[in-house]
Structure 1
Amino acid sequence: MDGRGGTEGIRSDYDVVIVGARVAGASLAWELGRAGYRVLLADKSRFPSDVLSTHNFFNNSVGMLREMGVLDRLLATGTPTYRRAYLRLEDAEIDGFFPEANGETECLCVRRTHLDRILFEHAASLPGVDARPNFRITGLLRSGGAVAGVEGTDSEGKPVRIPARLVVGADGRRSIVRELAGSRRIVSVPTDFASYVGYFEGFRQEGERCTEFYRIGETLAIAFPTSDDLHVIGLMFPLEWKDALARMKENPEAGFREFVARGLGATSFPSRLKEAKRSGPIRGLLGYDNDWHEAMGPGWALAGDALSFKDPAVGQGMHDALLGARLLRRILSSEPDWESRWDDMARRYEQELNDHFMPLFRMACGMTRNVPLRPEQAAVNRLIGRHPEATSAFLGLYNHSRTPEELERIVGGLLRQAPQIDSGEG
């Protein structure tokens, strides 16, 4: 693994210190290093190491990985690609292929033990990027009211003070940089669900390899084919199910299988899961907010989950980390005199983020509430599942190749034909 510990070689003239070196931080370090900036990329962990995540890239994001020059290394891990999605929403089935995006047709769900290490090493290979694992940031330096660097401890436990023109928090949904910088939380929608994730060997899928998503009653489940001949499978049920929470605490694997069987018994999912063998622990996230924070201020900025965490069921975290890094690099590259332009850059960064990420953030906020589907929405889901054009437009929301307005236009046209369609005349 590339990257150094200790304080040897630490500079006093970094343009940017990035706190957090996983997907958001490593991709931002690569973007900025390629643009000629002097970057310190620091993380409290060493790589490879795992984190709770569904770690999926839809094909639009696979295109960004290819453009970064890292896709071949990721594929060399043996992680399978897929292009199909199967969704069961109550009694509606939506089964189709993600439309082409960024010239790509295949999606990729690569485990974080591979992904984070490879992205970290890819960023560290640039001469302008100083990558430091096992660096713990504990405070921010300030000058004239602006953030002016970081303080913390290096891999040997020695105190460090590192000045920089900009500090970026890419350190996850519990970001220390966000807290210390005083970023305001702009939107907060709490989830109604507990979420559990596990890896399983021998999970059999029906038909072509795909991602699967189920919402039946109050149970949600999702499955992705991933690295090491495994599937990553997520289970969500209401936080108010206290007996279920107690059972999961008592015996996570047994509880996981029991509540999949209870909620999805009308499908083949439980029987296929029964055939599969668990690999590694079942891990859970009991309650979280779908949140959106102030993105930038004098001397600081946020990226990835530190900026906005959303329900994992929409699978947008990886995409937002990659694209967010590009957006921030463009903003910074357009303004050589950062110190006099913080307010303007912050407005532009926030606007770019809103334009690109807010539609699916709102979608995540809707999915995270335990609200029964309205009859009209259930009817629309059935309609989408019956018509390939609507199916493609619906799946295109996930890879940003189609907009909600386009889907509404297609569905509206089908609804106007509904009498003929229902009678077999259309």
Structure 2
Amino acid sequence: MDSMAKDSIYDVIIVGARVAGSSLAYELSKKGMRVLLLEKGMFPSDTLSTHNFFNNAVAGLREMGVLDRLLESGAPLYKRAHVQFEDAVIDGDYPVVNGEANCLCVRRTHLDQTLFEHAASQVGVTALLGFRVTGVVTENGAVCGVTGSHKDGRTETFRGRLVVGADGRRSAVREMVKSERKICVPTEFASFVGYFEDYRQEGETCVEFYKQGDKLAIVFPTSDGLAVVGLMYPLEDQAWTDRFTKDAETAFIELAGEAFPQLSFPQRLAQARLHGSVKGLLGYDNDWWDGMGPGWALLGDAMSFKDPAVGQGMYDAMTGSRVLADILASHPDWPSSWDRMREAYNGTMEAKTITRFGMACLYTKNMPFTPEQTAVNHLIGAHPEAARAFLGMYNYANEPHDLERLIGELLQGQGA
């Protein structure tokens, strides 16, 4: 950690030191900026999330220099996805991106501490744990610092040219600066997650995704010999909510069995052992917020939270860090450039990530497959090139319109 004096004025104060905040601190250090990285919690610690990196994001971890240490957590590399929509099976490998073939899902207890320690070791970065930000300082209409308290109750004020809220889905900084919400699509699902020991997969290590009727399940192999399993059911189903409230562990196993009786997934889950407790969310919003204003910016889930079923949070956090760092470095006179930087940041993040946000908004709705979509799912599963194009939407190997074009060509070939 840098030994910069506490009364220094930093270039950037980052509130939140998990994936988004630590990635940004690393990127800003490479630009020669003075950074204060603040985190209200302590590491190692866990947090509820989809902590998967598709291979496009794994390439970023390698570039950052943390991949080898993350692999020490025991998280297995994988290339394959097994997806089943009703009776249509899509099974294949994710397309290679930037020379990277493997995906990786690292538990937050390992991931966040590794990224924080790596960021804190960079030149120009001062990192502080156990500091809760309670307010922002403003001068002449622009944010110029934060106030908060240490774990021992001491209060302190830090000054900076820019304050970045990288403090998650319920961002306190976002509320303090009164960012405007641009998009809000409420989910129609409750989502519960558990970690399981001795979960047996069939064939090569892979991510599993199932949709049967109005229920969803997703499985990622992760650190410490565990699998992280997520189950989703409609929020309107009060009976299941009551069962989870009474006994979440029992309800979790029973939901898998009742929702997916024709699959091997429930039996394999029942034979595994729960590690820790089942946690969940009874609803959440897919949000997109204004990302910047005078003296402040938002990053990661604080700017855009999306349904965890699409697994895009890690990539978006790392991408946003690079985008924001580049924009800040290319505008040396920040006080006269807030409007231009805001337009560049919002526009670039929209161009890079809005399509996957749209995918998340589709997943978050409890909509049954139409007969036409069911036929398309079977078509994708029957053609390896279509399966690769489908999976390539998740790691940015191609765009949704590429899959649509390929499906059109396949239908034409069938005389449809």
- Deviation readout 1:2-26 (Å, 9 max, x if unpaired): 699xxx9424210000000000000
Q: Is the 8 A contact 1:212 1:222 kept in 2?
A: yes
Residue 154 (structure 1) shift: 2.2
Partner residue in 2 for 1:251: 247
* 1:143 equivalenced with 2:149 (yes/no): no
Partner residue in 2 for 1:126: 122
* 1:12 equivalenced with 2:47 (yes/no): no
Residue 282 (structure 1) shift: 0.2
Q: Is the 8 A contact 1:14 1:165 kept in 2?
A: yes
Partner residue in 1 for 2:18: 22
Tell me the distance in 2 between the aligned counterparts of 1:90 and 1:174. 34
* 1:99 equivalenced with 2:87 (yes/no): no
Q: Is the 8 A contact 2:316 2:353 kept in 1?
A: yes
Partner residue in 2 for 1:295: 291
Q: Which of 163, 168, 179 in structure 2 is aligned with 1:167?
A: 163
5+ unaligned residues in a row in structure 2: which ranges?
A: none
Tell me the distance in 1 between the aligned counterparts of 2:73 and 2:136. 38
Q: Which of 236, 243, 250 in structure 2 is aligned with 1:240?
A: 236
Give the fraction of aligned pairs with identical amino acids, expressed as a percent.
Answer: 57
Q: Which of 319, 338, 357 in structure 2 is aligned with 1:361?
A: 357
- Deviation readout 1:125-172 (Å, 9 max, x if unpaired): 012000101000000000101111101112332111111000000000
Q: Please state whether the residue corresponding to 2:184 is helix, strand or coil.
A: strand
Q: Which of 397, 400, 403 in structure 2 is aligned with 1:401?
A: 397
5+ unaligned residues in a row in structure 1: which ranges?
A: 421-426
- 2:320 partner letter: G
Partner residue in 2 for 1:269: 265
Tell me the distance in 2 between the aligned counterparts of 1:156 and 1:174. 24
Q: Is the 8 A contact 2:74 2:222 kept in 1?
A: no
Tell me the distance in 1 between the aligned counterparts of 2:75 and 2:56. 17
Partner residue in 2 for 1:64: 60
- Deviation readout 1:224-276 (Å, 9 max, x if unpaired): 00000000000000011111001001111100011111111111110000110
Partner residue in 1 for 2:154: 158
Partner residue in 2 for 1:114: 110
Partner residue in 1 for 2:323: 327
Q: Is the 8 A contact 1:3 1:133 kept in 2?
A: no
Q: Please state whether the residue corresponding to 1:152 is helix, strand or coil.
A: strand
- Deviation readout 1:72-101 (Å, 9 max, x if unpaired): 111122211100000001111000000001
Q: Please state whether the residue corresponding to 2:274 is helix, strand or coil.
A: strand
Tell me the distance in 1 between the aligned counterparts of 2:264 and 2:64. 39
Q: Please state whether the residue corresponding to 2:224 is helix, strand or coil.
A: coil
Tell me the distance in 2 between the aligned counterparts of 1:121 and 1:189. 35
* 1:227 equivalenced with 2:208 (yes/no): no
RMSD: 1.2
Tell me the distance in 1 between the aligned counterparts of 2:7 and 2:49. 33
Q: Is the 8 A contact 1:60 1:104 kept in 2?
A: yes
Normalising by structure 2, we get a TM-score of 0.98
- Deviation readout 1:175-202 (Å, 9 max, x if unpaired): 0100000100000000000000000001
Judged with a 3 Å threshold, the aligned counterparts in structure 2 of structure 1 residues 215 and 322 are, in CA distance, closer, same or farther, namely same
Q: Is the 8 A contact 2:2 2:124 kept in 1?
A: no
